[in-house]
Chain A
Amino acid sequence: DIQMTQSPSSLSASVGDRVTITCQASQDISNYLNWYQQKPGKAPKLLIYDASNLETGVPSRFSGSGSGTDFTFTISSLQPEDIATYYCQQYDNLPPSTFGQGTRLEIK
């Protein structure tokens, strides 16, 4: 199975800060990488698909980049409503699809 290593596991930042989360695959997954946001008590929500494509309706402050084994998720200017846990997910080798361990984002 492909392992996804996400870092950091938690992050504290101030409103307006640029926030970056990384995800590393255990083998080449091309651009088959998605990013999700999960707020407490809610289902996950798709933000980015195919590593860098913004899902319809998602604010442009969210972005993604990378290919192969190394991927980055960025929030350009952190807003209070962005408090959530963020997950990467690979679908190159399915089954199984695998998620990263998650990054919990808090406001400083």
Chain B
Amino acid sequence: EVQLVQSGAEVKKPGESLRISCKGSGYSFTSYWISWVRQMPGKGLEWMGRIDPSDSYTNYSPSFQGHVTISADKSISTAYLQWSSLKASDTAMYYCARLNIPAFSTWGQGTLVTVSS
């Protein structure tokens, strides 16, 4: 079974750093791009960026470029989304999703990030 399993919920203070993870299983991890999608409380879906796990090539949405970093470790079939300095406005649910062209056919369960002083 193809699965993406994300790391657990996080509570952080403004200015702290954070890395959340997304582990793929049941398929060849390096054969499919992984995207990250943000959903702020009560709001819609926003595509943040994507990574090709085979070579770690990334694309970012202009809205998120410079604010987050997407990376991957193909040796452990895991993609990451990280922040160097969190803001309260980063409070959201974050999903990873596997791109099985042409669509996101498999999603992680989501990681809730809460940033509060």
Q: Which residues of A does B touch, CB under 8 Å? A: 1, 32, 34, 36, 38, 43-46, 49-50, 55, 87, 89, 91, 94-102
Contacts and interface: CB of A to CB of B under 8 A. Distances in A.
Dominant secondary structure at the A interface:
loop
B62 interface: yes
Given A95-B59, A97-B35, A99-B45, 5 more contacts: A34-B103, A44-B45, A46-B103, A99-B46, A101-B44
B95 interface: yes
A91 B59 contact: no
Interface of B: 35, 37, 44-47, 49-50, 59-63, 95, 97, 102-105, 107-110
Nearest to B95: A43
Contacts, number: 63
Given A34-B102, A97-B35, A43 B107 contact: yes
B60 to A, nearest CB: 7
A86 B60 CA distance: 24
A25 to B, nearest CB: 15
Contacts of B104: 34, 36, 44, 46, 89
A32 B102 CA distance: 8
